[in-house]
Amino acid sequence: MPPSAGPPPPLLKTPEARESFVKYRKLALMTELGKLPTRLLLFLAVLEGVARYKEVSKADKRPTSPEAPENDEYLNLLWAFKELEIFITETTGTSIRTEFNLLWYEAEWINGK
């Protein structure tokens, strides 16, 4: 049974977490991914390493900002999640979003507005 979506952890409610949109977005994604079981988190970590090695975040051709390194971390994690989601769907026919109540949709987090 998937864990219920409770209130956000205290870290997301702190002023430090909300000091920049990029930092908050990354923490929010990590919070959602925390709903995954340990075995999937292991695969996610491996895929994140692949993303860093392949430099998937460098495909974004927009000018870099002062938050570029943190944004790269977010994009690598997002790429790893998408790859994991595709793999699980193709191999088991199940949706990890449904199975573990993941409520993350990138379109809602494109900019800070």
Is 22 within the bounds of a domain?
yes
Report if residue 7 sits inside a domain: no
Residue 59 within any structural domain of the chain: yes
Tens digit of each residue's pLDDT (9 = 90 or more) over 37-85: 999 999 999 999 998 888 887 765 555 555 556 678 888 898 999 999 9
Q: Is residue 2 part of a domain?
A: no
**Contact between 5 and 103 (Cβ < 8 Å):** yes
pTM (2 decimals)? 0.72
If one counts the domains in the chain, the total is: 1
Judge whether residue 94 has pLDDT over 50.
yes
- Give the list of residues 6+ apart from residue 56 with CB closer than 8 angstroms, or none: 75, 76, 79
Burial class (CB in 10 A: 0-12, 13-18, 19+), 74: buried
pLDDT of residue 35: 92
> Does residue 100 lie in a domain region?
yes
Top pLDDT among 105 and 22 is at 22
5 within some domain: no
Determine contact, residues 75/31, Cβ cutoff 8 Å. no
Range of the domain at 74: 12-109
25-40: per-residue pLDDT in tens? 888 888 889 999 999 9
